[in-house]
Amino acid sequence: RKEVEQDPGPFNVPEGATVAFNCTYSNSASQSFFWYRQDCRKEPKLLMSVYSSGNEDGRFTAQLNRASQYISLLIRDSKLSDSATYLCVVTRNFGNEKLTFGTGTRLTIIP
Partner 1 sequence: DAGITQSPRHKVTETGTPVTLRCHQTENHRYMYWYRQDPGHGLRLIHYSYGVKDTDKGEVSDGYSVSRSKTEDFLLTLESATSSQTSVYFCAIRETGKDNEQFFGPGTRLTVL
When asked if residue 98 is in the footprint of partner 1 (CB under 8 A), the reply is yes
Comparing CB distances to partner 1, the nearer of 78 and 90 is 90
3-class DSSP state of 100: strand
For partner 1, which is the closer residue by CB, 45 or 59? Answer: 45
Long-range own/partner contacts, residues 55-59 (CB < 8 A, 24 or more apart): none
Q: Which amino acid is at 93?
A: N
**Binding segment toward partner 1, per CB under 8 A, in 19-27, 64-72, 75-83, 94-102:** 94-102
Judged by the rule CB under 8 A, the positions of this chain that interact with partner 1 are 4, 32, 34, 42-46, 49, 87, 91, 96-99, 101-104
